[in-house]
Amino acid sequence: MISQILVLFLGINNIKMKRILIYTSLFFISFTALSFSQENVEKPTPPAGDALVGDYYGTDVSGAVVNNAVSVEKLEGELKTTKTIEGIAVKGEVTDVCAKKGCWITLKTKDGESFFVKMKDYAFFVPTALKGKNVVLEGNAEKKVTPVEELKHYAKDAKKTKAEIDAIKMPKEEIRFLASGIKVVN
């Protein structure tokens, strides 16, 4: 169609020139379509790995930091008197890992709940094999109210059922941890 318009506009009467113009137009249209087509992007997944003792993600957590790590219960106690604690190391058991990318984990607390851990600057991810392992986190902790939409987002990442996601109706006050490094310990 474009080539026919050009033929009429330019007044080309020669059949050979018309064909050259048509084929050239088709070539440029095809090239443009291919150039702007979207790539087939693979969905990100958590990194592979067994999460063995000594493995670390993000910055390595030193032996001295591992030895001085506080329990989840002690962290909870400290956060009753202050809103934020920076540069703390916490030891605990991983109860869940983001199944979508490995971009967050949760640690078990004394009362059977869990607290949420994100990776600083979204700079590293962890394998799903980390679930059930004992780890030491290094980073910053805070007590925070998490909105319903954010809670639902993380529930989707954890591949919860629709009923479980729909049951989230209230914001939740919880411990949030921003980890710069995570090390598997035992």
Q: What is the pLDDT of residues 113-151, one digit of tens each?
A: 778 999 999 999 999 999 999 999 999 999 989 899 999
Q: Are 126 and 105 in contact (CB under 8 A)?
A: yes
Where is pLDDT greater, at 109 or 66? 66
CATH architecture assigned to 56-185: Beta Barrel (2.40)
- Written as six digits, the tokens of 126 are 């962890």
CB-based contact 176:107 (threshold 8 Å): no
Q: What is the mean pLDDT of residues 18-31?
A: 65
Q: Are 155 and 165 in contact (CB under 8 A)?
A: yes
> Mean pLDDT of all residues in the chain?
84
Instruction: Give the whole-angstrom CA distance, residue 182 versus residue 93.
Output: 12
Find out whether 141 and 75 touch, Cβ atoms under 8 Å. Answer: yes
Residue 115: strand, helix, or coil: strand
- The model's pLDDT over 78-92, given as tens digits with 9 standing for 90+, comes to 988 999 999 999 999
Residues 154-166 pLDDT 10s:
888 888 899 999 9
Report how far residue 98's alpha carbon sits from residue 106's, in angstroms, rounded to the nearest whole number: 9
